[in-house]
Structure 1
């Protein structure tokens, strides 16, 4: 509809021009009417000005419309990122999604990488498109080695285009990094559009968009990537905030092990898989002995030290697949997968010996960290969490009573 209207306007202006010519020529050739010629020359001039002005405006309109379309597509991709941010489970998946979107929205983009600045001021490859990730992920670049840093004299605030990138890498990188990039097919590109990711005024990383064409990318692509990377920085920051909130909602603030609520969620989740695969596990209920007495005698800081000593010792002696959670003030719960009761007891007794040999000190005095425990087994004892806890809790009190009787 728009194009039809634009064509009609052009035709109308052209007709005005033609009418002017038609009015001008007869009096010029046949009547020599100077006044008529002057009038019609004015008419033609106006028509020409209108035509040329519209032609220029039309071109600008088309370019603006094209830019608007590109920006709209970019905004759509950003909005899509924002919509799915909560659904993306971890930062690595987020990096992959951001990079894929960047490659999609830039014409002539064939490959790409997203690199992030680590604590040692080195850039690590976190996501790639079109490259061998296994070969490239171990390469670390010094910030000063990057083409964007050198091209901008360290002013990494705007996107920049680097052409003949292979020659650049060969001249700047040491041989080991150059060979590693070559092995990962990182030297087949000819042009790179590099864009910084800035979060809270600090460089966080870069998005690099690559092409095998030497004349790939233009100022429009620079504008698009600048907008995209700004929004990507916001998305990454928000994702980190969500991660922090989720972590705090799932972990005990002192020990950083799972809290009771999240442990119960995990139990329901893995129980479905356990029943399907016929796996077994042992649930262990721990109770720290004399924690109240430690708090009353030496203060809560000493009590916290005792708790941390207990938890850290357990962490070092369970597998990554096992679970540990704080279930109450001095109560902890653990699940040991695919382990019989005897092997679990063996590990618990090892933990006891380690705690005996590494006591906690408070006000120059030794504070012994001791605990009682009870074990319930799946599937022998039950499948319901609360029933397993009741059985383990009962056995824990039996263990504590017998230990006190024996004076141990």
Structure 2
């Protein structure tokens, strides 16, 4: 077999030097005999350290393949991705006298492909989030859903959290995944006292990669909570989210490995920063509409429509589970008289005062609603009717001692009530309401008789 001849290789070398990609020439014995200028411009290797060696010397076992992908560090220490192709160099009679190895840098192409794929996944997550919006009771549930989706897109993310910034610029954990719940509940740190503030110069306005996190602890910053895995956080992808002019949340996507987040990861994370405010505004609008449809504007208690919905749900669940519950109807005494004598602002103050009293006194109630002008309703579970009767009777005694004020007038009030028990009084939901209403009417009549007797005795 013909061996490598430096003199006869001069023509081949001239051709290879004209190729803009890194090129290596390997002789028939697998010994590197030449690298073009593009290779030396890219590589940290010197000619002396590379030539006359084989791929075994560099532990490049993949070089035995005809075509393969491989990663290399360039002179700046950046990791680059290459597709390596091997072309046989044959002599005039078809014998192999060498192999030309051409390296095509596909780093930017792979980064672009990765970015497109991650953006598609992130857009799908936001689309799913918008569809699921009606099921989220609050922003914490919505953001927890998004956090889990984001973690699935970043394969280097081992755990993550969403930090909420308070009015006094203190960080607390709104949602997390991969950390101990107790640690997250106890987390409270001034923004300026965090490594996030230290690492990002100026305003926190874009996604940012933080590496070498243990070094910050050595500089006196608070230790980062240890994840459930037990492996300390080494690097984080930090994503600030501004709502209007206020920094509201910071997403912290944490990894137990250092220097694993790329510029592509950071650029994709900026999509969260850009899109979440739009989705949040939509969520807020939906929640406002929902509150208006479910709650009474004056008292902030549930309205009749929503109370009927939750009552039906409780009725269905209780029927299925063979459980019991109590329905209570209330009637606020003297509302019409107060409106006539003192005006509607006084009547409103009376309604608001009674609503607040109910909220504070009946904390064990599953639901409390204003179901009419002076009519209220409540649902109780895990309490029997006799115990509930005592509770409400005592509450009424307290309520009758309260003084309500509106502008220049003050007055006292009272209420009547009726209780119906499921299933003891009825197993029919509408019939239960009728029974409670009848007992409310009877209680109101008793109160009127008591009031008339007291008036007669004073005369």
Q: Same fold (TM over 0.5)?
A: yes
Task: Tell me, in whole angstroms, the C-alpha distance in 1 between the residues paired with 2:266 and 2:107.
Answer: 21
TM-score, structure 2 as length reference? 0.70
For residue 162 of structure 1, report the CA deviation from its aligned partner: 1.3
Task: Tell me, in whole angstroms, the C-alpha distance in 2 between the residues paired with 1:286 and 1:58.
Answer: 74
Task: Tell me, in whole angstroms, the C-alpha distance in 2 between the residues paired with 1:345 and 1:129.
Answer: 45
- Please tell me whether the aligned partners of residues 148 and 160 of structure 1 are also in contact (alpha carbons under 8 angstroms): no
Match of 1:135 in 2: 183
Task: Name the CA shift for 1:274/1:120 in 2 (closer, same or farther; >3 Å).
Answer: farther
- Please tell me whether the aligned partners of residues 198 and 204 of structure 1 are also in contact (alpha carbons under 8 angstroms): yes
Would you say how many aligned residue pairs link Structure 1 and Structure 2? 352
Match of 2:53 in 1: none
Question: Does 2:169 align with 1:124?
Answer: no
- Please tell me whether the aligned partners of residues 103 and 111 of structure 1 are also in contact (alpha carbons under 8 angstroms): yes
Task: Name the CA shift for 1:101/1:323 in 2 (closer, same or farther; >3 Å).
Answer: closer
Match of 1:204 in 2: 248
- Please tell me whether the aligned partners of residues 114 and 264 of structure 2 are also in contact (alpha carbons under 8 angstroms): no
Question: Does 2:430 align with 1:383?
Answer: no
Match of 2:267 in 1: 223
Task: Tell me, in whole angstroms, the C-alpha distance in 2 between the residues paired with 1:389 and 1:291.
Answer: 22
Q: 2:331 is paired with a residue of what secondary structure?
A: strand
Match of 1:39 in 2: none
Question: Does 2:123 align with 1:72?
Answer: no
Task: Name the CA shift for 1:384/1:154 in 2 (closer, same or farther; >3 Å).
Answer: farther
- Please tell me whether the aligned partners of residues 226 and 233 of structure 2 are also in contact (alpha carbons under 8 angstroms): no
Match of 1:275 in 2: 319
Task: Tell me, in whole angstroms, the C-alpha distance in 1 between the residues paired with 2:406 and 2:141.
Answer: 45
Q: Give 5+ residue unaligned stretches, structure 1.
A: 1-16, 19-54
- Please tell me whether the aligned partners of residues 206 and 273 of structure 2 are also in contact (alpha carbons under 8 angstroms): no
Task: Name the CA shift for 1:63/1:404 in 2 (closer, same or farther; >3 Å).
Answer: closer
CA offsets 1:59-93 (integer angstroms, 9 cap, x no match): 76665444333332332232222232223343222
Task: Tell me, in whole angstroms, the C-alpha distance in 1 between the residues paired with 2:190 and 2:250.
Answer: 13
Match of 1:91 in 2: 139
For residue 224 of structure 1, report the CA deviation from its aligned partner: 0.6
Where does 1:274-353 land on structure 2 (aligned, <5 Å)? 274-353=318-397
Task: Tell me, in whole angstroms, the C-alpha distance in 1 between the residues paired with 2:407 and 2:175.
Answer: 51
Task: Name the CA shift for 1:194/1:291 in 2 (closer, same or farther; >3 Å).
Answer: same
- Please tell me whether the aligned partners of residues 166 and 187 of structure 1 are also in contact (alpha carbons under 8 angstroms): no
For residue 120 of structure 1, report the CA deviation from its aligned partner: 3.5
Task: Tell me, in whole angstroms, the C-alpha distance in 2 between the residues paired with 1:151 and 1:250.
Answer: 45
Task: Name the CA shift for 1:219/1:57 in 2 (closer, same or farther; >3 Å).
Answer: closer
Which is strand-richer, 1 or 2? 2
- Please tell me whether the aligned partners of residues 122 and 140 of structure 1 are also in contact (alpha carbons under 8 angstroms): yes
Task: Tell me, in whole angstroms, the C-alpha distance in 1 between the residues paired with 2:271 and 2:303.
Answer: 40
Q: Give 5+ residue unaligned stretches, structure 2.
A: 1-14, 17-102, 455-459
For residue 130 of structure 1, report the CA deviation from its aligned partner: 2.2
Match of 1:11 in 2: none
Q: 2:369 is paired with a residue of what secondary structure?
A: strand
For residue 303 of structure 1, report the CA deviation from its aligned partner: 0.6
Task: Tell me, in whole angstroms, the C-alpha distance in 2 between the residues paired with 1:232 and 1:186.
Answer: 31
Match of 2:213 in 1: 165
Q: CA RMSD in A?
A: 2.7
Match of 2:54 in 1: none
For residue 310 of structure 1, report the CA deviation from its aligned partner: 1.6
Which is helix-richer, 1 or 2? 1
Moved more, 336-345 or 150-159: 336-345
CA offsets 1:174-222 (integer angstroms, 9 cap, x no match): 5xxx3x7248678712111111011223211111112232221121111
**Greater relative CO (CA pairs within 8 A, separation 6+):** 1
Match of 2:75 in 1: none
Task: Name the CA shift for 1:365/1:84 in 2 (closer, same or farther; >3 Å).
Answer: closer
Task: Name the CA shift for 1:122/1:60 in 2 (closer, same or farther; >3 Å).
Answer: closer
- Please tell me whether the aligned partners of residues 102 and 228 of structure 1 are also in contact (alpha carbons under 8 angstroms): no
Task: Name the CA shift for 1:116/1:341 in 2 (closer, same or farther; >3 Å).
Answer: same
Moved more, 218-227 or 278-287: 278-287
